[in-house]
A and B are shown apart, each in its own frame.
Chain A
Amino acid sequence: MAIMRAVLCSLCAVPAPAAPCLLRAWQLGAGVIRTLCTGLALLSVCKFIEKHEWITTENGIGTVGISNFAQEALGDVVYCSLLEVGTKLNKQDEFGALESVKAASELYSPLSGEVPEINEALAENPGLVNKFYYEDGCGSCL
């Protein structure tokens, strides 16, 4: 069972490059210690999956986010819900949802795993989802 670290957002050219990455939503896998990351560090491996979600892996830890296209289509995110810590997920299970004024989108897990930690920041400040996206544009990653 792959261990995943999930980042619930699309990452962008961070306006303040030194800012710590607040975007990690949750992590799958027991015993993983959350590390700070900058946007660029996550660009190492990037795979896009069907529903405009991307996944990168680093040392057996997976990180999931949504594409720039998805966050633009959604518009200003006003509500973000994520699973509770400890939840076990199978591939394609719904792990959360994002809502804007006009639209709602469920988020589906691309892998199986367990959630060891969630990022409280997104629940309180869902607009962060729109603020960060890959510098080079997620479309180029395959």
Chain B
Amino acid sequence: MQRAVSVVAHLGFRLQAFSPDLCRPLSFAQDVLRRTPLYDFHLAHGGKMVAFAGWSLPVQYRDSHTDSHLHTRQHCSLFDVSHMLQVKGQISLFLPGRAGGILDDLIVTNTSEGHLYVVSNAGCWEKDLALMQDKVRELQNQGRDVGLEVLDNALLALQGPTAAQVLQAGVADDLRKLPFMTSAVMEVFGVSGCRVTRCGYTGEDGVEISVPAVGAVHLATALLENPEVKLAGLAARDSLRLEAGLCLYGNDIDEHTTPVEGSLSWTLGKRRRAAMDFPGAKVIVPQLKGKVQRRRVGLMCEGAPMRAHSPILNMEGTMIGTVTSGCPSPSLKKNVAMGYVPCEYSRPGTKLMVEVRRKQQMAVVSKMPFVPTNYYTLK
């Protein structure tokens, strides 16, 4: 079992439109979308396919978005997240940019096999790969023995309170010994060479299974045989992660936000803060010590849903910030959102207003996660 060193939680997807297509490989024609190994499987199960970050992915299946979302919180759901970039290599990665902005959020696992395993956003595929390849070249020029390999694996996320129980039926390892943010390689429902990591993007207990592409359909089929499991798509993935207070790269965090502004200082370890040996340190470390101009906060309101780009106002009606993502919460039956406001307005309980549909609506700064998380930590 290996520790997965989390940089930040990972990927969601853009709500209104897919991200600018920085990630289409040159060999593909303009309008061709990439397909995961489960493309036909999705169609066979009634998946409604949409274009996302250059991939054709299911936004939902036959169940409504709300039903799919609630099923995940009460049972478990299976998501195909194979569009994310998976690499393995013997390199160290820093992903703050030089000016302190966040280039991507991803998860790095320090495996016991002598390499790192990294999963990052599909929307940042080319950017991240270029960065990592540059780093490999630099280290190789210094005589270091490093390499980088893009994995031809599917990635399946099984998330929900019954996910572990469903998975246990197909693995020999005792999953009670695989806590949150740890990872192990094992045979899963007869497919060997799968890496199972206890993590996810929903706030629930669950795993992400990196499975060799040839075994993906078999594994998905086996998991779906359990009546606890239903397929879920990008729509549910987004509302689940927002309820869990998890950022969507490109909306809630991007190259213009620092980890401190993003309320993500926990990702910067003590040693690094002292050594200041990462790109962007000159901007970020002072922010850790002093104040930042603005912070990411959670917001809740009734009435019309807050959406990305909705202005945030103080009680005097002055615009003080902007919503970066928002939706009606199926679990809470209220509207939830994330946005950036100046520090003095960031305390939970602070009353603010959000402009929705040309009207000013009362909102309140709320702690995140909006819905309690259920990560399997051994405490």
Contact = CB atoms under 8 A, between A and B. Distances in A.
Interface of A: 75-76, 78-79, 81, 97, 99-102, 104
B328 A101 contact: yes
Given A76-B65, A76-B66, A81 B357 contact: yes
B296 interface: no
Given A75-B64, A102-B238, 5 more contacts: A97-B357, A99-B304, A100-B328, A102-B15, A104-B307
A102 B65 contact: yes
B73 interface: no
A80 to B, nearest CB: 10
A72 B15 CA distance: 18
Contact of A100 (B65, B238, B304): B65
Interface in B289-341: 303-305, 307, 327-328, 330
Contacts, number: 40
A75 B65 contact: yes
A98 to B, nearest CB: 11
Interface in B235-249: 235, 238-239
A90 to B, nearest CB: 18
B42 interface: no
Contacts of B235: 75, 101-102
A81 B328 CA distance: 15
B69 interface: yes
A57 B357 CA distance: 30
B305 A99 contact: yes
A101 B69 CA distance: 10
Contacts of A78: 66, 305, 328
Interface in B335-367: 357
A78 B64 CA distance: 12
